[in-house]
Copies of this chain bind each other. A is one copy, B any other.
Amino acid sequence: MFKQIFQIKNSEKFEGQTVTAQGWVYQSRSSGKIKFLILRDGTGLMQCVLFKGECQEAAFLDFEKITQESAIEVSGKIKKEPRSPGGYEMGVQTLKILHIAENYPISPKEHGVEFLMHNRHLWIRSQRQWAALKVRAEVIKAICEFYDERGFIRFDAPILTPSACEGTTTLFGTDYFDEKAYLSQSGQLYGETGAMAFGNIYVFGPTFRAEKSKTRKHLTEFWMIEPEMAFYDLDDNMKLAEEFVEYVIQTVVSRKHQELKILERDLSKLENVRAPFPRVSYDEAIKVLDKRGVSVPWGEDFGAPHEAALGEEFKKPVFIHHMPSQIKAFYFKQCNEVGGPPAVKSNGRYALGCDLIAPDGYGEIIGGGQREDDLETLKLRIQEHGLSEDDYRWYLDLRRYGSVPHAGFGMGLERTVAWITGVEHVRETVPYPRMLNTLRP
């Protein structure tokens, strides 16, 4: 049987019982005949109290030796105590020291971010980091649940790829025996092959961008969830995306209440995230931005201030669709007017794309759209983008052998977790963030 011991998160079940708990000393203080410590066991925090005369004498003496993050084993009775972090407290009878920690570098006082990042392996033991990473784990769980329950097949795309999905300037390259390989920026093109084999699939894995950006929204290594669906058009795609985002947010809010409380997240804002989301064409968005004093010339991409303004306008996640095709990748299906028929073998003014902008400045968390499914049109796009038809032989094959309308999108995990947790910077949404100048620990 799986090793089942007392865990702080399950204290309730042990009320009135004498148990043994193992963990680390989060805090401690003495006050004459009473000594307190907060025990951290990885599942939660619990106050432990030692009364002189009620606990073993050795325990009372050993208490003086323990330092922050020392490993200990304590035994005692569990009782309700609203002032204890998890609502339960242990009246300690015995205390066993497992390891005395050296002078722990992270004290309750303020530390600079650089120092904390340098000690990321220890920082993750702190309450806020611990809570944010627990939310991350729950977001992943909710993501997989959503697709698994709907019969989507998980389809892992390769990380090592011979050519780039969108240009080569932001790629990490490596020698692959006698040739050159690049770390994947997206599993989408592979995902499309999966959609033709399984109908509905999702890719979920790490992706890489060698961008020199130093913003609070960029990592060089981040996880993406990329569903791809045969027989879906742009509208179906947006419907799925909004249902998905609502599911993830509401599921995580309901299951990770305690962690979001530690993070002081305003839950009312998250509870408000319900589908359907507003849908605004790029042309309409341009007008909104103009009105809000952050004009964008037609044909240019939106930046952080524009995304922030759109978030403020709509207060909810908002879809921007039908972007100028000149700013979108080669694989988008195109049209010449919003809602009009597809542009075949000619340059369409609009791409059948849809991006989802999160509110409160968290920016674009989803990018996707309907894919070009006509062989000759796609060949033309590949040419126009200066790409090699030979590199995309297999991708073009999808348009040779039973081509069907299909669509999909990618959601960035870390940005979504940043939005849900309300943390300032994506670096706190992943155990070991990778950024410009950050490769350690």
Contact = CB atoms under 8 A, between A and B. Distances in A.
Contact of A124 (B70, B71, B197, B229): B197
A313 interface: no
A154 B137 CA distance: 5
A183 B197 CA distance: 30
Given A125-B196, A177-B436, A400-B102, A441 B137 contact: no
A97 to B, nearest CB: 10
A119 B398 CA distance: 11
Given A162-B439, A173-B174, A439-B162, A156 B430 contact: yes
Given A7-B151, A151-B7, A174 B172 contact: yes
Interface in A120-137: 120-122, 124-125, 129-130, 133-134, 136-137
A298 interface: no
A7 B199 CA distance: 10
A307 B144 CA distance: 35
A141 B151 contact: no
Contacts of A158: 221, 431-432, 434
Contacts of A400: 101-102
Centre residue among A134, A177, A221 by max chain B CB count within 10 A? A177
Q: How many copies does the complex hold?
A: 2
B175 A154 contact: no
A42 B137 contact: no
B151 A9 contact: yes
Contacts of A130: 197-198
B101 A156 contact: no
B160 A439 contact: yes
Contact count band on A: 35 or more
A403 B70 CA distance: 8
Interface string A388-428: 00000111011011111000000000000000000000000
A437 B177 contact: yes
Contact of A69 (B150, B162, B208, B401): B401
A153 B137 contact: yes
A41 interface: yes
A40 to B, nearest CB: 9
A106 to B, nearest CB: 9
B3 A439 contact: no
Given A119-B397, A160-B221, A176-B220, 15 more contacts: A2-B240, A9-B151, A42-B195, A42-B197, A43-B151, A120-B394, A125-B196, A133-B155, A156-B223, A156-B431, A159-B183, A160-B434, A172-B181, A190-B432, A206-B206
8 tightest A-B contacts by CB?
A42-B199, A394-B441, A71-B402, A121-B193, A137-B154, A158-B432, A101-B401, A69-B402
10 contacts: A2-B240, A24-B402, A98-B402, A99-B373, A101-B400, A104-B401, A121-B398, A159-B221, A174-B183, A177-B210
Interface of A: 1-3, 5, 7, 9, 22-25, 41-43, 69-71, 98-99, 101-102, 104, 119-122, 124-125, 129-130, 133-134, 136-137, 140-141, 144, 148, 150-151, 153-162, 172-177, 179, 181, 183, 190, 193-200, 205-206, 208, 210, 212, 220-221, 223, 229-232, 236, 239-240, 243, 373, 393-395, 397-398, 400-404, 430-432, 434, 436-437, 439-441
